[in-house]
């Protein structure tokens, strides 16, 4: 595996970076939170003097069984930031595609988990909207069409509508943050339940005229409806440009991964959410924040 970003990094420097991203300035036992005395084991791990737990930098993370060493992991994060396909990255660094893909899938799993945990309540003015992802059935490759038919996901002669993945999204204007969730249907029950879980009752909600959003004004501070057939939506505040901007952002980027399988779709989608929510970081900040997430740092810097 060739390196481009970390070639000049010594092992000591890489270890220092990982230590800081994992623990801040003090090693902390992941089991009991003890921060004072540890045995240093010969394999590089620590053992807590209070609870005896043995742990290393990757203990209890999604990549605790990875074959990559720390420098390779760090290198892979820089490549990830560039937003190429896993195939393209494997080719660029002359690495094993299967291993690299497995590593990135674990990373996506963790980013998805992090997004779910870190976005608690969206506040202020929020926009809500639903959309559909996925290619039309007739545009899918032949072997995939066959597979989908076999799984009973589409009936011969029928349109592609059922195959598209419905996704619901909430956009908070103040911080420019988005939260998305694939949904089985776009009924009032389904969508309003998510809105109630993820937004404060003090929120002003903006939506389009879809009937599932009816009645939100009873549960929240305010509900403004944007009518796309009306000239009004172009003026003033009554828009849902924020969430629509995210749909465009995500769809354009997911096009590059036209082969994403249904079981991986959610991971890729939440990866786009993570990228969008961290779009203001520089490349290096983005990588280091991602490293903190990947290493399950207890207190992650915002």
CA–CA dist 294, 34 (Å, integer): 21
Shortest reach from residue 270's CB to Zn ion, in Å: 32
Q: Which is nearer to Zn ion, 37 or 161 (CB)?
A: 37
CA–CA dist 278, 281 (Å, integer): 6
Query: Which of 28-36, 108-116, 236-244, 276-284 is the region at the interface with Zn ion (rule: CB under 5 A)?
Result: 28-36
Q: Which of 51, 121, 201, 298 is the binder for Zn ion (CB under 5 A)? A: 51
Query: Which of 13-21, 26-34, 101-109, 226-234 is the region at the interface with Zn ion (rule: CB under 5 A)?
Result: 26-34
CA–CA dist 275, 264 (Å, integer): 17
Query: Which of 22-30, 84-92, 161-169, 253-261 is the region at the interface with Zn ion (rule: CB under 5 A)?
Result: 22-30
The answer to whether residues 87 and 97 touch, using CB atoms and an 8 Å cutoff, is: yes
Q: Token pair for residue 64?
A: 């605790």
Which residues are 131's β-sheet partners? 167
* Binding positions for Zn ion, 218-247, rule CB under 5 A: none
Interface with Zn ion, residue 29, by CB under 5 A: yes
Count each helix (H run) and each strand (E run) in the chain, helices first: 10, 8
CA–CA dist 73, 103 (Å, integer): 9
Sign for the pseudo-dihedral over CA of 228, 269, 139, 144: negative
Q: Which is nearer to Zn ion, 29 or 170 (CB)?
A: 29
Q: Which of 19, 20, 27, 31 is the binder for Zn ion (CB under 5 A)? A: 31
Shortest reach from residue 102's CB to Zn ion, in Å: 30
Q: Token pair for residue 248?
A: 């465009």
Q: Which of 14, 48, 70, 154 is the binder for Zn ion (CB under 5 A)? A: 48
Q: Which is nearer to Zn ion, 23 or 132 (CB)?
A: 23
Sequence-distant (≥ 6) Cβ neighbours of residue 6 within 8 angstroms: 14, 71, 74, 75, 78
Interface with Zn ion, residue 32, by CB under 5 A: yes
Query: Which of 11-19, 34-42, 192-200, 216-224 is the region at the interface with Zn ion (rule: CB under 5 A)?
Result: 34-42
CA–CA dist 190, 184 (Å, integer): 8
Interface with Zn ion, residue 298, by CB under 5 A: no
Give the number of residues in contact with Zn ion, rule: CB under 5 A.
8
Sheet holding 125-133, edge to edge: 177-182, 165-172, 125-133, 204-207, 222-225
Interface with Zn ion, residue 55, by CB under 5 A: no
Residue numbers at the binding site for Zn ion (CB under 5 A):
29, 31-32, 34, 48, 50-51, 53
């Amino acid at each position: 595996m060739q390196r481009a970003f970390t070639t000049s990094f010594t092992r000591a420097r890489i270890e220092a970076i990982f230590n800081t991203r994992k623990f801040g300035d003090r090693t902390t036992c992941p089991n009991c939170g003890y921060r004072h005395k540890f045995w240093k084991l010969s394999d590089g791990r620590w053992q807590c003097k209070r609870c005896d737990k043995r742990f290393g930098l990757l203990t209890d993370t999604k990549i605790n069984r990875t074959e990559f060493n720390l420098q390779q992991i760090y290198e892979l994060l820089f490549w990830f930031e560039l937003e190429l396909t896993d195939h393209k990255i494997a080719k660029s660094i002359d690495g094993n595609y299967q291993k690299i893909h497995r590593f990135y899938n674990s990373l996506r799993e963790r980013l998805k988990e992090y997004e779910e945990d870190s976005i608690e309540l969206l506040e202020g003015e929020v926009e809500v909207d639903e959309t559909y992802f996925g290619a039309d059935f007739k545009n899918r490759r032949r072997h995939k069409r066959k597979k989908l038919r076999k799984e009973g996901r589409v009936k011969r002669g029928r349109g592609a509508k059922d195959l598209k993945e419905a996704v619901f999204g909430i956009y908070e204007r103040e911080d420019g943050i988005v939260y998305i969730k694939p949904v089985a249907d776009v009924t009032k029950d389904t969508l309003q339940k998510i809105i109630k879980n993820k937004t404060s009752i003090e929120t002003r909600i903006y939506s389009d005229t879809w009937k599932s959003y009816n009645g939100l004004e009873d549960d929240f501070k305010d509900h403004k409806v944007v009518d796309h057939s009306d000239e009004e939506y172009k003026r003033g505040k009554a828009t849902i440009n924020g969430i629509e901007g995210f749909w465009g952002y995500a769809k354009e980027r997911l096009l590059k991964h036209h082969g994403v399988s249904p079981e991986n779709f959610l991971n890729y989608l939440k990866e786009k959410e993570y990228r969008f929510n961290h779009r203001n970081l520089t490349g290096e900040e983005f990588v280091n924040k991602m490293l903190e997430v990947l290493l399950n740092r207890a207190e992650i810097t915002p």
